Amino acid sequence: MNKKFMTFRPLSLMGVTQAAALFIAGCSLMPTYERPGAPVPAQWPASASVNAGATATSTAASATPLAWQDYFTDPTLRQLIDTALANNRDLRVAMLNIEQAKAQLGIRRADQLPTLSAGVTGSRTPDNNGAIKSAYTAGLTVTAYELDFFGRVASLKEQALSQYLATAEAAQTAQISLIATVAQSWLSLLADEELLAVSRQTMGSREESLKLVELKIKHGAASDFELRGAQTLLESNRVTLAQQTRQRALDENALVLLLGQPLNDATRVQLARQNLGQMQLAELPAGLPSDLLTRRPDIRQAEQNLIASNANIGAARAAFFPRISLTAGAGSASSELSGLFKNGSWGWTLAPQLVLPIFDAGRNQANLDASRAGRDIAVAQYEKSIQSAFREVADALASRATLAQQLQASQALLDAETSRSSLTQLRLDNGAANQLDWLDAKRSLFAAQQALVQTRLAYLQNQIALFKTLGGGANAPVPAASAAD
């Protein structure tokens, strides 16, 4: 070994490492992070119809979203959501992305500490006189450990930490979206069953009406016009039934994809028994628009991406300053293998290196400019996520009040059309109404029955959408405290 760098005297490598650690109290060039202001009004728009008193009393509790287990109390729906959370492949990918980001964070954290390696080398080479010269070394080495005086490695670690937290928030967003989508898909399937039941019942009634008209024609008590009207009603109903049957199959396929497995027999039995009128969902406090900053994981994700971009500027700034790395080793050297670990053969090496950028054709400046532009992009994306969340909640709140009124009106319309159909049938049987009145009453009744089911579905799905847009009730995949360990 070259004696210019090897002094044979006892020395602990631990002492070298501890001495080097005294020089690592450097400064950070990362800009101080300041959360941008929320570019939305302080109150919901008037169209949202939020009761001011109710909002004030619920603000204290609004920061903590209602857990989905408490919001969806139907046992079948809760079982479907549990199945989807366990088997859905998109959610599984989101969770695995967390593990990947956590591993990347581990790499960046490891960069802050020296890498200690053990090595043994040996060589036998002839000299100029033809004699064989032997050299053996063994020891511990620290190779190219960067002394982070200007916070470059620390900034990269902070960037990786924020990216890890952003990935965790993205997984929580995926989890909330999955819960809401499963619930909405189940409601759609229930609505399909109700619509099919209405269509089948109406089909049977119209088939009987057609048979009655055909019988009247045989006895000369009805005209061909009445026959064609009854056939029109029947075939129209047949078209609607075919469309609804197809839609039901599509909705079931969509739900099966979300669940990651087919519907079991118990679920199918419950599907035939349940109806939308039995589904009850709790009223959700909207709180204030500022609550969305803590409620919505997609907003928290955008903020973590902004923090990561901010940390990347610190790393880009540090590239303008000298980079100091340290290579050190301690071990034993000998010309004979048998004397490798004898007294007097121990020594150490210390090889610091300082690299100062002088000319790089503007590479560092371009990297810094790109980092600053990336931060500005992240700011715009963060503000856009807040604005999008504000609109989604405002839309759901505006729909909640109007859909409640529409549901009441649809129920009243169905009651009126049912009475009208019964009276028209009675008048027709007694000769006080004509066939056109009867056809019109039947069409209106069928339309009212379908409209009520569809309005009830829209009302319930809007409540689920509000649950989702307010931040849902999913459990965070990764507690925030664990990321700071």
pLDDT per position as a tens digit, 25-45? 446 788 888 899 888 888 888
Instruction: Say which amino acid occupies 479.
Output: P
- Tokens found for residue 251: 């909705």
DSSP state string for 100-155: HHHHHHHHHHHTTSPPEEEEEEEEEEE-TTS-EEEEEEEEEEEEEEEE-TTSHHHH
Question: 60 falls in which pLDDT band (50, 70, 90)?
Answer: very low
- Tokens found for residue 379: 């700011």
371-389 per-position pLDDT tens digit: 999 999 999 999 999 999 9
Question: 345 falls in which pLDDT band (50, 70, 90)?
Answer: low
Beta strands in 306-441 (DSSP E): 323-334, 346-355
Domains of the chain: 1-30+113-142+323-356 (2.20.200.10), 33-109+148-313+375-483 (1.20.1600.10)
**This prediction's pTM:** 0.83
185-236 per-position pLDDT tens digit: 999 999 999 999 999 998 888 888 888 888 888 888 778 888 888 888 899 9
Instruction: Note whether 313 and 378 are within 8 A (CB).
Output: no
- Tokens found for residue 175: 């989890």
DSSP 8-state assignment for residue 320? T
